[in-house]
Every structure is written in C-alpha cells, then in structure tokens.
Structure 1
Amino acid sequence: MKLFAFFAAATLAEIEDDTCYSNGEEVSCSNLARTGGRSIAVSTEESSERRYTDLKAIADKVWKLNGLAGKNKFDERKYWAYGCHCYLLGDRPLSEMGTGAPKDELDNKCKAYKDCQKCVRDKHGDQCIGEFVKYTWKYASKRGRFEGINNEGSCERELFQCDLKFAQDTFTAMNVFSEDNHFFWGGFDNRDPDNCPSNGGIPVEHQCCGGYDREYHWIGLNKKKCCPASDGNSGVVTDLTEEC
C-alpha cells in the first residue's frame, strides 16, 4: 500500500535549533531572499515523500521540547487513516477532506487541520497543497518558537502554519487515541459512510479566519466571528458576544 511507503520515506535526522529545513533537508535561510521569500514547488512524483518529512520533523520537535523521547516520542502510525479525517487512504492523504462528524477529539484536530489547508487552498488555488508545495522553517531557540521563513501571507507560509498547529494539536490530544477508530489496528474504515455520518441539524454558515502569519480556522458564524488582527493582515477568532 502506498501509505506505508509514504511514511517509511519520511525520515529526517534530529532537528537542530536555529537551522532552516525544507524538503527534509538542511537549507540556507538566506536563499529565500533570491526568490522573494518563496520556495519552489516539487513535482507530484516526489511530493508525498517530501511534504510529510517536514510535518513529522516539526511534530518530533514538539514532542521533544515537551520532554518526550524514546518510546514516548511522536508516533506517526497513529494517524494513518484514523477516524473520519486523519490521513485518508488515497493519493492526497494530507489535503483530502474527510466527511462526517469527528469520532473523538483527536479526529477533531485532524478535521481542523484539513479545514486549515482548505482555507489556504481557497485563497491560493488548487495547486497550493502540502503534496505539491514545500516551505522553509526552523526552531528559533532564543525566541523559543517555530518560525516559517517564507513570506507572510504566501501559500508556503500558510501551509507551514497549518502544519505547526496540527503538530501542537496532536500533542495536546495524544492520549485520546483509540484503536477502535484506527483502520489498521481496529478495522475502522472511514470510507464507509455509516462510520462517518453527519450530525445533521440546521446548516451553518462558515468562514475562514486567520492566515498570513498564523493558522486558518473554519468557523461557524452561529457561535464565532472573525475580528481583524492588530496588524490588519490576519483574522482572530472570537465569540459572538466579544468585542473586536
């Protein structure tokens, strides 16, 4: 199955602080100055191997920063076809949208990840997906944070923000994992519509909120609203009752 090769190829040496990475390799941060802050898209033939390498490296770093290593390190196998939204079985496991209500909080984080990428794709076009586009990033030790090196508001930068948020979200929800919702370990098939039904109810209008130098959120306007960020370049999710 392609998916096994997809993850098996996603290996990267231990991430060094204050070092830029792209396409699973160490790169010069200054190279982007010659391309206007943009990375170069990779071919579809190499893209699935390329994209997950950086996402996994970011997640590995998140786990390590929180003191988890060895047998407790980030285990990407848990997100192979988990629930109704995590890494679907197909040619676009990172960007393909799932269906139905999430099975648990971990699956909900995967849905938020797919929603984030959908918002980036809606803004930049159908080719702006993780399987096609690479970005450059680093962990800045003095500032204690992950940083995207591509231009703010670019396809690359916004895809990086989606990845970073997903890595952080899966860390907070790592104890939610259940084999019952896993295709390989529990036999759960997210391609079966009976396993991923919609909650039904009255349709709710949604809006993308975020972007630029932060992740996108797909918000229901019955409970949330999008307020302009202080710099005027992004959006900030708030409750309907709060002032912008």
Structure 2
Amino acid sequence: MARRKKIYEGKAKILYEGPEPGTIVQYFKDDATAFNAEKKDVIEGKGVLNNRLSEFFMTGLNTVGVPTHFLKRLNMREQLVRACEIVPLEVIVRNFAAGSLAKRLGLEEGTPLPRPIVEYCYKDDKLGDPLVTEEHIAAFGWASQQDMDDILSLSLRVNDYLSGLMYGVGIRLVDFKIEVGRVYDGDYQRLIVADEISPDSMRLWDIETGQKLDKDVFRRDLGSLTDAYTEVARRLGVMPKQATHVAKPKLIN
C-alpha cells in the first residue's frame, strides 16, 4: 500500500494519512527511548514485534467488548486504525509497586497494591508528562467528569483482560499505560483505547523468576530487549513455540 501524507512522528511510531477518510496508518519504528528520550537506541526488529503484539492485544480487547481504534494489520510494521481525537492524558494502571510509584511512596519494588491504582499524566514531552489529578483535568478542560468515569471504567476493563491473559502464560502484569481517544457517531461521543498496547507500555515480570520482559530491560541495561519481547510473543502464541530471536524475527501470520 502506498503511504500517504505523514501526520505525526513520535518516539516509537509514525502516523500516516489512511487510505479512506477517518483512518490512519500507524507505522512501528525500531527506535527505543527511555527517561523522556534522554536514552535512545535503534533495536532491529522491535517495531515488528510491537506491531504484532499490539494487534494481538487490541484484537482481543475488541473481541471481549472493549472498544479500540484497531482495524487491521497491513504488513509487518503497519496497521490501519480509526482516526480519533486523543484525550491529552496517559492513563496508568498499577497492580504492583514499581517505577515512579515505588520511588514516590518509598515502596519496595514488587509490593502488591491493595487494589489497582489508576493515575493520570498530562501528555507533554517538554514537561516530562507530569502527574496530574482529576482536579487538574477538570479545571483545564482536558476531559469532562463523564469522560473520567468512562476512562476509569475502560482502563480497569483493560486491566482485567490483560492481567488474566498474562497470568495464563506465567507473566505478572505489574503496570501499563494506555491512551484514550474520542470518536463521534453523529452527536454521540464514545471513548476507545487508542495508540498501542505493547511491552513498550507495560511492565511484565516472569511470575516464577521475576525476570523483566519489558522496556525496563532497555532502561536498566539488563540484556536484549528483542529477546525479552520475543519471549512475551512466544508465550502468547504470536510466535512459534520453538522460536528464538534473530535480527529479523519471523512471525506467524
């Protein structure tokens, strides 16, 4: 498929104008970034893995009635998604203490939380995506109270689905982040899961060993990022059971 006009380029993806009105082509790059892009690298095959894994998660969510922007995969690096108006928030769902939460509250990493905690960050790279409260969100008009109720419900449904899915293959879902988009059907607005769901946007630990299978491998120099993502894909059946990582992973269709 011939690419159309580039709409936006971020740290991990490029968005192109889609073939039909109301659609976007989402291209997954091999770029890896951490610490608000202070640490950067290009990791061959990462974009291919994230494209396939995001397809897998989004398709599963659609199947269980959680609406997403995903329409179909186009090739190894691109997928067709529905255009939507992105709510300017990162929605973070935490099941165990890790990352910034562990630092802020002085908790030991891996401490189980009494219940899933949902946090919100304002999407602004220049500001470092600062943590905000519902008071900030209401005051600045980023989302209405009804939106926030719907976002909370949506994020907890995603958490239920992903937690169970990962537990079934021996992986602990420590936390994850999603973005939410608004779509309109006439005068009716609804919220859907947008952007991507991949190991780039999750913390995933092996239940038995505690081995990290997410972008913390890159953040903390713990080994091969593509080996970690390949292991997640293998366990979920996105790659053949006997697969091991090669420079250009061969994924099943």
1 or 2, which has the higher strand percentage? 2
TM-score past 0.5 threshold: no
TM-score using structure 1 length: 0.28
TM-score using structure 2 length: 0.27
